[in-house]
Amino acid sequence: MLHAEPADIDAAARGVVRVLIIGDDDGELFPVSHGTGFAVSGDMVVTNAHVVEDAIRDEDLQIGIIPSGGGEATYARLVARSSRNDLALLQLTGSLRLPRLALAGGPAPDSGEVTSVGYPMNVDRAQGLEIGDIFRSQPPVKSRGFISGARPSRQFDTILHTAPIARGNSGGPLLDSCGRVLGVNSFGADNEGGDAEFFFAVSMRELLPFLRANGVTPRVNEQPCISMAELNAAERERIEQEQDAARADLAQRSEQTRLKRERAQFEAEQSVMTEREDRVFLAFVLLLVAFALGQWTIALYNAEPRDEKRLRIVAGITIVIVLAALAAYLTRPGLDEIDRRVAAAMQEGEDADNDTPTASSNGDLALQCTLLPERSRITSAEAQDLTFDWQSSGCVNERTQYGFAGGTWSRVFVPNSEDAVSVNSFDPDRRIYRVERYLLPRSEMSAAREARARYTAPKCGAGDAASRLGDLQTEVLGQLPQQPNERLVYECAPRN
């Protein structure tokens, strides 16, 4: 069974807020009631309709938003409200921007672990929080449970679960194991006579149409929920399989090379020995002819009267044939010719293999990169295929943006517009592009931005620019958690 990863729940909790209904008594603010909400965009918050009911009935009351991750509280205005399915949409009126939560796509699950996140009043009372404490940022409470089924209730679709909620939790998210929203916690079943407690959350079948009808395009994630441990285990298994395949391929190639060498050795020995025998036989035949011609020459020399012209012709032919026999014998291939012919035959195969194009880290690459879902873990990011232009120096827009350290090309990206640090890496030989995202709390994100601001990427062409950048990036990398929240893996190919 897949258990929720605390890092995923913590990342989602960054966008959970306390929704506070505030009264004003001669300039003295006081809380009337409160619930929970969560961000579906930077300035849009979802909660329950009954959470803001007091503010609707009394125009003198205001809706306050207290962020969980620090930052100044702000007010919100009511954008839409649906009593039928107990949903409300609020818009922040100040400059506060929240990290939005991803909504789980696909049909509602019938089982599995879930987490409720919110601000139960009984916890506030148990902690003895004063009125002033309510107005300050507090981390939300997280409670685990299990889905008990999906069922319609009160004329709208709900998810039945056992992750405890109480007054004040209303409007908070019900999260799956990857920190994605499965529903909006709304109410609990009556617990009379010690019966087991069950709770209800408004399902995605209600929330998604409500958001879209009010102009909000939510971030919906339909990827399967797998843990980083499972992904790492699958990656290790894949690497082991690749190594096994490489070893098997090497063994096969070695065997093929051995058989090829044996065949080349046999063929070379046969051809060389045949040529040697042919040359020796030819020399022997020529010597026999020369011997016969020599006998004729002697006969012509001793004849009376002597035919000088014929004698010279026959003697010349005899000498030529003797020289030809000598040349045939001396130019017969030696035994070392066998080794030369074997080497030549083996070299022909290597030349054919070298004609096959392979990826290289040298030179520039214009690439189209395709996401590999089976090797990725996506909980909130918008995962799309991308184009990528690679330069062997790590340069991008006249700056060395990719540092080289530990045998890896990487770029640390710390944006001002999002509370997430991305570490983008590229393997130019295998053409694998990887994005690892760390979803950080506001305080840790501020520290990462400060560390990033302390260095400037070297200009392209500067001496050891990539290595220097690799060293400079270590200060930011040292502040990141041990493992990322998300990993996006892309396979790249040259684009037309």
pLDDT in tens, 289-314: 989 988 988 888 888 888 888 888 98
92-96: average pLDDT: 90
316-325: average pLDDT: 92
How far is 435 from 289, CA to CA, in rounded Å? 84
Residue count of the chain? 496
Q: For the segment 41-63, what is each residue's pLDDT rounded down to a tens digit?
A: 999 999 999 999 999 999 899 99
Q: How confident is the model at residue 359 (pLDDT cuts 50, 70, 90)?
A: very low
Q: For the segment 134-191, what is each residue's pLDDT rounded down to a tens digit?
A: 667 788 999 999 998 766 655 789 999 999 999 999 999 999 999 999 999 998 876 6
Phi, psi of 177 (to 5 degrees): -70, -15
Residue located via tokens 């290595």: 467
Q: For the segment 264-293, what is each residue's pLDDT rounded down to a tens digit?
A: 999 999 999 999 999 999 999 999 998 998
What pTM, to 2 d.p., does this model score? 0.75
CA distances from 114 to 145, 240, 389, 455 (A): 5, 34, 41, 42
Q: For the segment 217-250, what is each residue's pLDDT rounded down to a tens digit?
A: 999 988 888 888 888 898 899 889 989 999 999 9
